[in-house]
Amino acid sequence: MSTLAAVSVDVPFTLPIVDYNAIAPLLILLGAGVISVLVEALLPRGSRRFIQLFIVFGALVASLVWIFTITGIRVVTAEGAIAIDGPALVMQGSILVLAILGALLMAERSVDPSGDVFAARASALPGSEDEKQFTARGYLQTEVWPLFLFAVSGMVLFVSANDLLLMFVSLEVMSLPLYLLAGMARRRRLLSQEAALKYFLLGAFSSAFFIYGVALVYGYAASTQLPQIASVLTAKPGQTSLALIGMALILVGLLFKVAAVPFHQWTPDVYQGAPTAVTGFMAATVKIAAFGALMRVLYVAFGGMRWDWVPMMWIIAGLTMLVGSVIAISQSDIKRMLAYSSIAQAGFILVGVIAASPAGLAGALFYLIAYGFTTIGAFAVISIVRDESGEATNLSKWAGLGRKSPLVGGVFALFMLGLAGIPLTSGFIGKFSVFAAALASGDTWLVIVAVVASLIAAFFYVRVIVVMFFTEPGPQTASVVVPSVFTTIALAAGATVTLVLGILPQPVLELVSNAGLFIR
């Protein structure tokens, strides 16, 4: 007792300075997540859904509104652990908007005849008597909502983490719920559980890389704060091998999350196995969060070592674009195809990251936003194209879909053209922005690789249109289920943004370029 007292006298405890106003969006989400857990634990099953939806949408909207009120804030707070700056706010805002669309997809209960798209009880073994019982009783779970809220909180923190340790924590807060969500599909349980396990194991592996890298960088800089690392790097320009190895390991962890080659192996399985609503949500938002953290680490902490990481990122970006595009061609499952497409798109965004200029940052941000809306819309379409066994994800079942349901086929074609980067869609402006930034930074060859990869990618996007519109519908052709207002809103928002950002991108371009740079 006495020693304890002595310590507290010797080292007076000072309260950390926290700008609560700046981190309120995060706190709202975390608070809502905790309440959501309590709702799940304490309230009767029947009344949970309404309350959970109220909490989820309430928290997302409140958090978003709060961000709109603090758009001018540029502050490093929580003792240097959190940086709320322009890019962070833009990314937080877009994560929240996309999370709202993702939540709309997950809240859908009209497309699957057995209720919703989540397992009646995720813990029951696939094919077991338990599972049959739960399904037969028609149990509908709402346990996805607390998980969802924590995942979103993790993302919102991830893009503003200014300290490698906090970055690691938020990485886990974001990832762990996603691992679980991936395993909760109602149909094709084994595939879903395989996806979850694979995601978890590989994710844990990459986290280990990340934290080992943090340890090595700490060994070099005696700090985990990004600006501190940067200033040590300028102070000690030689002897950077420890920092280099540490940086490489940290990048492995982050590139795993953005699904860059060669750290992409999890993507197709997880995209395919996870419930489609979760895939859409995850594909759109995790990309933003992970790129946010990646850029912050590269620019703020290791900006001084640009010439050390650029060659490596060059190779990774080139490989990511080419491998993603080429392998996507041979896919026959539309979710797997979009998974490889997301890999290829990550490569295009990396082109903007490598430019390491204000234009590159703005281009990457624009690309992330454009990609997020298009992707979530595409997965929304996939979630309503069904046959008697559930979602019809095999491309052969999409044959003639555009003739059977012209509107849905047309919207999906729009998403494909958007991802392919055809002008007058958001994807084109995104490509344009990152290519322009890269050319201005002198990365001519990378742009040429990107152009070739775009062409390869266009092939498989266009092939979907061929399948949908240029083949006759047959008996195997899936049908489009009429969804409730939830999915309809998400779908409409995805399509609208894809078009509007293609035709009138100026406001968003201004937003991302006015966001400025990461603060130190």
Partner 1 sequence: MTPWLTILAVVPLLGSVIVVLLPKSRPVLAKQLALAISLVTLVLTVLMALQFNGASSDPFQFVESYPWIPAFGISYSVGVDGIGLVLIALAATLVPIVVIAGWRDVDATSGGSVKGYFALILALESMMIWVFAATDVFMFYVFFEVMLIPVYFMIGRYGGPQRSYAAVKFLLYSLLGGLFMLAAMIGLYVVSAQMTGQGTFDYLTLVGLEMDPTTERILFLGFFLAFAIKAPLWPFHTWLPDAASAAKPGTAVLLIGVLDKVGTFGMIRYCLPIFPAASEFYAPVVIGMALVGIFYGAYVALNQNDMKRLFAYSSMSHFGFIALGIFVFTTVAQSGSMVYMVAHGLSTAALFLTAGFLMQRANGSSLIFDFGGVNKAAPVLAGFFMFAALSSLALPGLVSFVGEFMVLLGTFQRYLFVGGVATLGIVITAAYVLRLYQKTMTGPLAVKLVGMPDLGAREVIALMPVVVLTLVLGLFPAPILNVINPAVDRVMTTIAAKDPGPTVSSEGSGR
**Contacts with partner 1, residue ranges (CB under 8 A):** 403, 406, 417, 422-424, 428-429, 431-433, 435-436, 439-440, 444, 447-448, 451-452, 454-455, 458-459, 462-463, 465-466, 469-472, 505-506, 509-510, 513
Nearest-approach distance from CB 508 to partner 1, in angstroms = 9
- Indicate the residue among 30 and 480 with the shorter CB distance to partner 1: 480
SS3 content of the chain, % helix, strand, coil (to 5): 75, 5, 20
- Indicate the residue among 200 and 428 with the shorter CB distance to partner 1: 428
Nearest-approach distance from CB 400 to partner 1, in angstroms = 10
Nearest-approach distance from CB 468 to partner 1, in angstroms = 11
- Indicate the residue among 311 and 423 with the shorter CB distance to partner 1: 423
Query: For the stretch 26-39, what's the b/e string if a residue is b when 16 or more beta carbons lie within 10 angstroms of its beta carbon?
Result: bebbbbbbebbbeb
Nearest-approach distance from CB 423 to partner 1, in angstroms = 4
Q: What angle do CA 479, 484, 487 make, to 5 degrees?
A: 80
Provide CB contacts within 8 A for 250, sequence distance 6+. Answer: 164, 209, 210, 213, 214, 217, 297
Q: What whole-number distance in Å separates Cα of residue 75 and Cα of residue 87? A: 12
- Indicate the residue among 244 and 436 with the shorter CB distance to partner 1: 436
**Are residues 386 and 111 in contact, defined by beta-carbon separation less than 8 angstroms?**
yes
User: Which tokens sit at 264?
Assistant: 């992409």
Nearest-approach distance from CB 426 to partner 1, in angstroms = 12
Q: What whole-number distance in Å separates Cα of residue 471 and Cα of residue 62? A: 47
Q: What angle do CA 449, 455, 459 make, to 5 degrees?
A: 145
Q: What angle do CA 282, 286, 290 make, to 5 degrees?
A: 165
Q: Which sign does the torsion angle of CA 292, 297, 300, 305 carry?
A: negative
User: Which tokens sit at 193?
Assistant: 């559980």
- Indicate the residue among 119 and 468 with the shorter CB distance to partner 1: 468
| First-last CA distance in the chain | 42
User: Which tokens sit at 78?
Assistant: 């929580």
Nearest-approach distance from CB 244 to partner 1, in angstroms = 31
Nearest-approach distance from CB 322 to partner 1, in angstroms = 14
- Indicate the residue among 266 and 460 with the shorter CB distance to partner 1: 460
Phi then psi for residue 475, to 5 deg, are -65, -25
For residue 387, the surrounding DSSP H or E stretch is: strand 385-387
Nearest-approach distance from CB 80 to partner 1, in angstroms = 33
Nearest-approach distance from CB 418 to partner 1, in angstroms = 12
For residue 437, the surrounding DSSP H or E stretch is: helix 426-440
Q: What whole-number distance in Å separates Cα of residue 123 and Cα of residue 184? A: 9
Q: What whole-number distance in Å separates Cα of residue 399 and Cα of residue 123? A: 36
Query: For the stretch 420-457, what's the b/e string if a residue is b when 16 or more beta carbons lie within 10 angstroms of its beta carbon?
Result: bbbeebbbbbbbbbbbbbbeebebeebbebbeebbebb
- Indicate the residue among 283 and 351 with the shorter CB distance to partner 1: 351
Nearest-approach distance from CB 442 to partner 1, in angstroms = 9
- Indicate the residue among 58 and 406 with the shorter CB distance to partner 1: 406
Nearest-approach distance from CB 386 to partner 1, in angstroms = 24
SS3 string, 141-177, reads CCCHHHHHHHHHHHHHHHCCECEHHHHHHHHHHHHHH
- Indicate the residue among 139 and 469 with the shorter CB distance to partner 1: 469
- Indicate the residue among 230 and 417 with the shorter CB distance to partner 1: 417
User: Which tokens sit at 191?
Assistant: 């595939």
- Indicate the residue among 183 and 505 with the shorter CB distance to partner 1: 505
- Indicate the residue among 69 and 514 with the shorter CB distance to partner 1: 514
**Nearest-CA neighbor of 352 among 308, 325, 317, 305?**
317
Nearest-approach distance from CB 489 to partner 1, in angstroms = 23
Q: Which sign does the torsion angle of CA 288, 315, 517, 304 carry?
A: positive
